[in-house]
């Protein structure tokens, strides 16, 4: 039976695709590959792959001799990921719809398992045990998750501020999504920073490692072309718009149709002001830094 709960009620395709495209930028390739212990020729499983941004990066980074497998429970994500891989001529990826707690793979069949922002939504022990089962001896299981306590943002004076009305409507929107998250156990299993490496040990993993990657998203960074700067600003708007469209479909009635339209207008106005700074060549240094924690262990 088709399952589209995540893509229609929790996070849409654009939200995941655009944000991951920025996190897994090509200039972070060597960092990600070395921390996750990934190399050419490996068979790598990405669990809870969503619309597939990370699988496509790995496919490109590691080349034809490697095999990338993406698994997710959401039918729409898998459909989108398959179609996009075909469009991009990426022949070394395959996607399966399936449960992370009951992977549709044989024992000892992959060299490495990775997951990005998935562990917090599933019972941690069962999640890791299933990866241990499908991983070959000497394979590595790496779990990436964002530390909620380490999300840093600057708020320069020249940043176009959200009006009181926009804040009010955004608050209502997030109340609505909090309700949905609760209904579907989203974030119910957030790993304890001490408990997670301990759990790896208790489950029999070796060579347990903890790493962290700080990921800055900086519009004004001089390495970004004008088009890239515009793309970051536009992508933030697209992600918010997608959340608004999803809220409209949920029909919990916290926000009326008029309010949803009003919210989009306010966001567009603020986005246009931000784009104007780019057009004028003015840097205002509004940026965020996300801290991604990586816990990994090796299978005997």
Ligand X SMILES: C[S@@+](CC[C@H](N)C(=O)[O-])C[C@H]1O[C@@H](n2cnc3c(N)ncnc32)[C@H](O)[C@@H]1O
Kindly tell me which of 199 and 255 has the beta carbon lying closer to ligand X: 199
SS3 content of the chain, % helix, strand, coil (to 5): 45, 25, 30
- Tell me the residue length of the chain: 300
Binding residues vs ligand X (CB under 6 A): 6, 11, 16, 20, 48-50, 53-54, 72-74, 77, 99-101, 116-118, 121-122
Question: Measured from the CB of residue 128, what is the shortest distance to ligand X in angstroms?
Answer: 13
Kindly tell me which of 53 and 134 has the beta carbon lying closer to ligand X: 53
Burial class (CB in 10 A: 0-12, 13-18, 19+), 208: middle
Rounded Cα distance, 31 and 134, in Å: 25
Rounded Cα distance, 12 and 124, in Å: 24
Kindly tell me which of 99 and 181 has the beta carbon lying closer to ligand X: 99
Question: Measured from the CB of residue 187, what is the shortest distance to ligand X in angstroms?
Answer: 9
Question: Measured from the CB of residue 232, what is the shortest distance to ligand X in angstroms?
Answer: 17
Nearest to 69 by CA among 41, 50, 47, 100: 47
Question: Measured from the CB of residue 99, what is the shortest distance to ligand X in angstroms?
Answer: 4
Question: Measured from the CB of residue 189, what is the shortest distance to ligand X in angstroms?
Answer: 10
- A 10 A CB-CB count for 73 gives 17
Kindly tell me which of 117 and 271 has the beta carbon lying closer to ligand X: 117
Kindly tell me which of 245 and 269 has the beta carbon lying closer to ligand X: 245
């Amino acid at each position: 039976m088709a399952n589209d709960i995540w893509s229609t009620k929790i996070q849409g395709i654009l939200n995941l695709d655009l944000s991951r495209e920025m996190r897994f930028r090509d200039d972070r390739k060597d960092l990600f590959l070395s921390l996750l212990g990934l190399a050419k020729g490996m068979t790598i499983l990405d669990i809870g792959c969503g619309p597939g941004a990370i699988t496509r990066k790995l496919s490109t980074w590691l080349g034809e001799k490697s095999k990338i497998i993406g698994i997710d429970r959401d039918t729409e994500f898998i459909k989108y990921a398959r179609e996009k891989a075909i469009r991009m001529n990426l022949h070394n990826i395959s996607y399966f719809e399936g449960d992370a707690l009951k992977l549709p793979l044989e024992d000892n069949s992959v060299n490495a398992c990775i997951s990005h922002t998935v562990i917090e939504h599933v019972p941690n022990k069962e999640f890791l045990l299933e990866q241990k089962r499908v991983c070959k001896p000497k394979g590595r299981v790496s779990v990436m998750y964002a530390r909620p306590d380490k999300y840093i943002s600057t708020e320069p004076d020249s940043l176009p501020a959200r009006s009181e009305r926009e804040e009010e409507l955004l608050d209502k929107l997030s109340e609505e999504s909090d309700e949905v998250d609760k209904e579907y156990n989203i974030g119910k299993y957030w790993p304890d920073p001490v408990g997670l490496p301990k759990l790896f040990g208790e489950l029999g993993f070796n060579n347990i490692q903890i790493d962290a990657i700080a990921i800055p998203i900086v519009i004004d960074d001089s390495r970004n072309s004008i088009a890239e700067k515009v793309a970051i600003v536009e992508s933030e708007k697209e992600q918010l718009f997608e959340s608004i469209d999803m809220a409209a479909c949920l029909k919990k009635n916290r926000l009326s149709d008029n309010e949803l339209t009003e919210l989009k207008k306010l966001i567009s106005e603020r986005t246009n002001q931000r784009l104007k700074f780019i057009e004028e060549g003015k840097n205002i240094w509004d940026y965020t830094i996300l801290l991604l924690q990586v816990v990994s262990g090796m299978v005997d």
